[in-house]
Structure 1
C-alpha cells in the first residue's frame, strides 16, 4: 500500500511541477489552447498508466512532452477545418485580450511548418539543446539545425513585417511615439 501512495504522490508532484509549462509548450506549437490542454491531459493519463516504467528509465518529462506534442499535432491535422472556422468567427467574447506581441508571435509561428514550429518551441521556448530536440522529435541533429535556421528566417521576416505595420498604425493614429 505504501508503494501506491508513494507513486501517487510522486506523480502528483510531477504533474504540479510540469503541467502548466507543458500546456504552454503545446499551445505554442499548435496555436490552440483547448487542444493543447486536451493533449497534455491525455499525455499525463498515459504517463500514469506507465508511471513505474517511466520513472525507472529516468526523467519522464521528455516522454510526456513527446506524447502530448504528437497527440496535439495529430488532432490538429484532423481538425484543420474546424480550426479555420474558429479563427474565421474570432475568439470567444470572454477571452481576455492578448498583447500585440503575443498575437504577432503566434501568427508568425503559424506560418511555420509543424516540424519547424515544434523545434522552435522545444529549442527556443524550452531552452532544450539541439541534441535533446533531435532525440524528442526523432530527427537528426542536422535536420533540427536546418529546421531552426529556416524557421528563424521566416519568423524574422514575419515579426519584422508585423512590427513595421504596428508602428505605422500607431503613428497614423496619433499615438505616443
Structure 2
C-alpha cells in the first residue's frame, strides 16, 4: 500500500465518521422507537454502521447516500426483531403509551391535523402501529425526531413534496382511525 492509498483511506474514514456523526441521533431515535430498548437500539445502530462502512465507497457514489444508510438501518432493525422471534424472546412491547405518542399528538394538534379526534393516547398508539411502514417512518421522523422535510426526504430517498404528501396521508389515516376529522377549523 502506498502513502497515497493511506491518505485516501483516511479521508474516507473521516468522511464516514462525519456522516455517522450527522445521522446517528436520528438512527438511534428511530431504532429506539422500533425496538423500545436503548441498549438494543445502540447495538443495532453499531451493526448498521459496520455495514455502512463495508459499503461506504458504493454509498458515496449513490445519488442520495443517507437513503442507502437508512435502508441498512431498517434491515438491521428487522434482523434484530427476527432474531428475537427465532430465539423465543418476546418482541418489544410498551406497557404504557410511549412518550413519543404524546409528541405526535401534540404536534399534530398544534398543526390542526387531528382536530376533534375522539381517541385517547392508547387509540392513537394503536392507530400509529396500523400505518404503512413508510407513513409510520415519516410520522416518527417528523414528530418524534423533529427532522426537517429535507432530512426525511434524504433518508427515504424521495422528494420533500412526497414527504409532505405522505405526512398528510398518514395524518388523514390517523384521524380516520380515531373517528375524527382532519383539518377541521383550518
Q: Structure 1 residues 79 and 133, CA, compared in 2 at 3 Å: closer, same or farther?
A: farther
What is the aligned residue count? 143
The structure-2 alpha-carbon separation of the partners of 1:148 and 1:43, relative to structure 1 and needing over 3 Å to count, comes to: farther
- The normalised TM-score by structure 2 is 0.55
Give CA-to-partner distance per residue, 1:5-63, whole Å, 9 cap, x none.
11111111112222122211222344332332222212211110111121122442221
Instruction: Give the drift of 1:66.
Output: 2.2
Provide the residue aligned with 2:109 in structure 1: none
Number of the residue aligned with 2:108: none
Q: Which residue of 2 aligns with 1:26?
A: 31
Identify unmatched segments of 5+ residues in structure 1: 91-99, 158-177
CA change 1:70–1:79 in 2 (3 A) is same
Are positions 1:151 and 2:174 aligned together?
yes
Distance 2:24 2:179 in 1: 30
Instruction: Report the RMSD for the aligned CA atoms in angstroms.
Output: 4.1
1:2-151 pair list within 5 angstroms: 2-76=7-81, 78-79=83-84, 81-83=89-91, 101-102=99-100, 104-105=102-103, 110-111=125-126, 112-113=129-130, 115=133, 116-124=135-143, 125-128=146-149, 132=153, 136=157, 144=166, 146-151=169-174
Shift of the alpha carbon at 1:135?
Answer: 5.0
* Aligned mates of 2:13, 2:37 — CA distance in 1: 30
Q: Which has the higher helix share?
A: 1
Q: Is the 8 A contact 1:30 1:72 kept in 2?
A: yes
Structure 2: how far apart are the matches of 1:110 and 1:70? 23
With normalisation by structure 1, the TM-score equals 0.58
Equivalent residues of 2:31, 2:41 under 8 A apart: yes
